[in-house]
Amino acid sequence: MQHIFRSLALVPLLGFAAFAADAGLGASFKGPIGLQLYSLRGIATQNPPKALVQTKDFGLTYVETAGTYNLPPEKYKALLAEHGLKPVSGHFPYDRWKSEPEKVLAEAQSIGLQYAGCAWINHKAPFNEATAREAAAVFNKAGELGAKLGIKVFYHAHGFEFQPHGDGTLLDLLMKETNPKHVSFEMDVLWVVFPGQDPVKLLKKYPGRWELMHLKDLKKGVATGPLTGKTDVANDVALGTGQMNWPAILKAAQETGVKYYFIEDESPSVVEQVPQTLKFLSQVKF
């Protein structure tokens, strides 16, 4: 009888664990879904373990890193594992990709990453063709090195790449000049919509190139348009409450080969908004 009571006592816990493992997943959106840990930078800079506890409390397992908060890569990997988190991808500074790609990839391997990328190409505004071509060469070299380690190199577009170029933009040039075997891209939906671009069209224009996606919504009423400047982080809102057409975006992402989705919420209300975002993802239909 004691065994039966113990088993019954575990039912609520198992039910919660199953719910936590499936946080954000629903009838249409299947993920896999994780968190860009930069979202919790305010907590992590003071107490890295507390940020990881918060991530797990959201019901998430997959994460994308943005630095190791002064911890050696091996120790950061162990800390993530201790909190039941699996690092999938990570961001590293462009200057390091340019000057020491081998060291960057060694760190990525030590953390256990499948993807190692860059979220900003250092440049003097406006972004230009010469800088774009230089960056493509940097990513191609890194991508070849990464392939030998089983790591895919990627670039996270940030909006300034939509400068006109020929019949398209400098993002089109980056796509054309990077080797699709070794270099993929991460779409940050906010940084596509804010400069006046269409994420669905971009996903369909480059199927298979966008392997990662940042899920981020833009507050209603915020103006968008070509070469719009920086938006305030307070304009990051919970998914489904902003401007984005998420059913269309998520459907196109699923159809064109996005492999991992990461919530990135840079707002001061991140702890309150992430659960709202996860609830929306679990209910969205497409």
CATH number of the structural domain spanning residue 81: 3.20.20.150
Question: pTM for the full model?
Answer: 0.92
224-244: pLDDT as tens digits? 999 888 999 999 999 999 999
pLDDT value at 13 more than 50: no
Written as one string, the DSSP assignment of 105-149 is: HHHHHHHT-SEEEES----PSSP-HHHHHHHHHHHHHHHHHHHHH
pLDDT value at 18 more than 60: no
106-136: pLDDT as tens digits? 999 999 999 999 999 999 999 999 999 999 9
Residue with tokens 């009423």: 221
Mean pLDDT (the chain, rounded): 93
Report pLDDT for 11.
Answer: 35
178-216: pLDDT as tens digits? 999 999 999 999 999 999 999 999 999 999 999 999 999
Query: Bridge-partner residues for 89, per DSSP?
Result: 64, 115
Report pLDDT for 22.
Answer: 85
Q: What angle do CA 120, 180, 260 make, to 5 degrees?
A: 65
Counting the structural domains of the chain, the total is 1
Is the Cβ–Cβ distance between 260 and 88 less than 8 Å?
yes
Task: For residue 31, give the H/E element and its range.
Answer: none
Q: How many residues does the chain have?
A: 286
The whole-number average pLDDT for the span 40-48 is 96
Domain extent at residue 101? 2-283
Please tell me what DSSP assigns to residue 152: E
Query: Bridge-partner residues for 194, per DSSP?
Result: none
DSSP strand pairing (183-188 vs 210-215): parallel
d(CA 31, CA 36): 14
Hey, CA dihedral for 198, 193, 118, 273, is it positive or negative?
negative
Query: CA dihedral in degrees (254, 115, 261, 134; nearest 10)?
Result: -80
pLDDT band at 21 (very low <50, low <70, confident <90, very high): very low
Report pLDDT for 20.
Answer: 41
What percentage of the chain has pLDDT greater than the value 70?
93
Report pLDDT for 16.
Answer: 33
Report pLDDT for 2.
Answer: 39
Task: For residue 275, give the H/E element and its range.
Answer: helix 270-283
Report pLDDT for 227.
Answer: 80
Please tell me what DSSP assigns to residue 80: H
Q: Is the peptide bond before 247 cis (omega within 30 degrees of 0)?
A: no
pLDDT value at 176 more than 80: yes
The whole-number average pLDDT for the span 39-45 is 97
